[in-house]
């Protein structure tokens, strides 16, 4: 596929009746069936829900559950909130419905000492009835079953041969996602690299430093679509860089500026199955939505 043939165009920003929802670096989840988008906003400790046209339709307060650091959505549309009841407490998982009404709470159990020591996860994914808990700074990921019982774990620093000094001198993981096959994809900006860990622990990687198309300055958020294309935000370029399933460069879009189709320090992103890409950014620019066509 010729990279020049791939196209991306700005559609709209997630909005409420006052205009663009002024988020800064939020977590997002896209419902593939309904097209609804859920956003967890740490600034207001709330979850905000938008319809498939990008208009806000509901929100609820999450502070009642403690400090919520990330969330996922289960197959029934319930929200799974990774939260801490108070500073220094152990992480728990709170399930609530789309109106924020409490359903249940899960305690995580059975972590071995080498995975539990100092492990305070700040990322959550729910795939194939498993929870993936990740600590960006510790570069560790723990898998549990649907009851929160430990199954396995990955020490990502060990996989990429980081020693303790290298961990301390780097900023840890920036972008992180888990695909439907259980592969873990993550970025480390200081290495200008995307890493992929298969369920059996096999590590692959790609990426080069540079300012030309397809190269990284500060690689950040990462997402994968249903065809295996990989989307990576670059904070310094203020762009989204797209690669195919074989890690070949396809296109870039966004770029720094104040126009609606520009981006300001993009971070997390999400991709639906209809060619829409949702990009979270700074300076109150909220979440911009792009239509991406990679099949031309």
Whether the predicted model's global pTM rises above the 0.85 cut: yes
Q: Is residue 24's pLDDT more than 90?
A: yes
Alpha-carbon gap, residue 246 to 230, rounded angstroms: 9
Q: Parse the chain into domains and list their residue ranges.
A: 3-293
- What tokens were used for 228? 């295996």
Read off the pLDDT of each residue in 115-139 and give the average, rounded to a whole number: 90
Query: In the predicted model, what is the mean pLDDT of residues 70-88?
Result: 92
Which long-range contacts (C-beta less than 8 Å, at least 24 apart) are formed by 119-123? Answer: 120/84, 120/91, 121/69, 121/70, 121/82, 121/91, 122/69, 122/70, 122/82, 123/69, 123/70, 123/82, 123/176
Alpha carbons 286 and 281: distance in angstroms, whole number: 6
CATH among 3.90.209.20, 3.40.50.2300, 3.30.470.20, 2.120.10.30 for 3-293 = 2.120.10.30
Give residue 117's pLDDT: 72
Tell me the pLDDT band of 171, cut-offs 50, 70 and 90: low
Sign of the CA dihedral with 62 first, then 66, 72, and 73 last:
negative
The stretch 78-82 carries a mean pLDDT of 96
Per-residue confidence at 164, pLDDT binned at 50, 70, 90?
A: low
pLDDT (0 to 100) of residue 54: 96
Instruction: Provide the pLDDT for residue 2.
Output: 44
Percent pLDDT > 70 in the chain is 95
Q: How many whole angstroms separate alpha carbon 90 and alpha carbon 68?
A: 12
Q: Between the ranges 114-118, 154-158, 231-235, where is the mean pLDDT highest?
A: 231-235
Instruction: Share the mean pLDDT of the chain.
Output: 91
| pLDDT at residue 163, as a whole number | 65
Which of these, 268, 272, 226, 222, lies nearest to 32 by C-alpha position? Answer: 272
Q: What values do phi and psi take at 42, rounded to 5? A: -65, -25
Q: What pLDDT, on a 0 to 100 scale, did the predictor assign at position 162? A: 75
For 203-245, the pLDDT digits (tens) are 999 999 998 999 999 999 999 999 999 999 999 999 999 999 9
Q: Please check the confidence at residue 265 and state whether its pLDDT lies above 80.
A: yes
């Amino acid at each position: 596929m010729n990279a020049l043939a791939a196209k991306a165009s700005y559609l709209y920003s997630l909005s409420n009746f006052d205009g663009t929802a002024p988020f800064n670096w939020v977590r997002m989840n896209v419902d593939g069936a309904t097209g609804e988008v859920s956003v967890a906003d740490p600034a207001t400790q709330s979850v905000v829900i938008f319809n498939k046209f990008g208009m806000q339709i509901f929100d609820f307060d999450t502070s009642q559950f403690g400090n919520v650091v990330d969330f996922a959505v289960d197959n029934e549309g319930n929200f799974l909130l990774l939260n801490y009841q108070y500073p220094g407490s152990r992480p728990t998982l709170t399930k609530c419905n789309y109106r924020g009404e409490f359903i249940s709470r899960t305690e995580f159990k059975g972590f071995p000492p080498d995975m539990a020591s100092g492990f305070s996860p700040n990322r959550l994914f729910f795939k194939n009835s498993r929870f993936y808990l990740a600590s960006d700074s510790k570069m560790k990921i723990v898998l549990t079953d649907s009851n929160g019982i430990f199954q396995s774990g990955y020490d990502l620093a060990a996989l990429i041969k980081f020693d303790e000094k290298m961990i301390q001198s780097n900023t840890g993981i920036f972008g992180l996602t888990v695909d439907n096959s259980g592969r873990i994809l993550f970025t480390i900006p200081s290495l200008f690299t995307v890493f992929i860990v298969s369920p059996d622990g096999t590590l692959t990687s790609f990426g080069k430093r540079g300012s030309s198309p397809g190269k990284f300055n500060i690689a950040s958020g990462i997402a994968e679509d249903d065809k295996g294309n990989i989307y990576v935000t670059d904070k310094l370029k203020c762009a989204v860089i797209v690669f195919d399933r074989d890690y070949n460069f396809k296109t870039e879009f966004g770029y720094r500026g104040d126009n609606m189709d520009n981006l300001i320090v993009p971070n997390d992103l999400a991709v639906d199955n209809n060619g829409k890409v949702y990009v979270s950014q700074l300076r109150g620019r909220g979440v911009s939505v792009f239509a991406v066509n990679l099949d031309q």
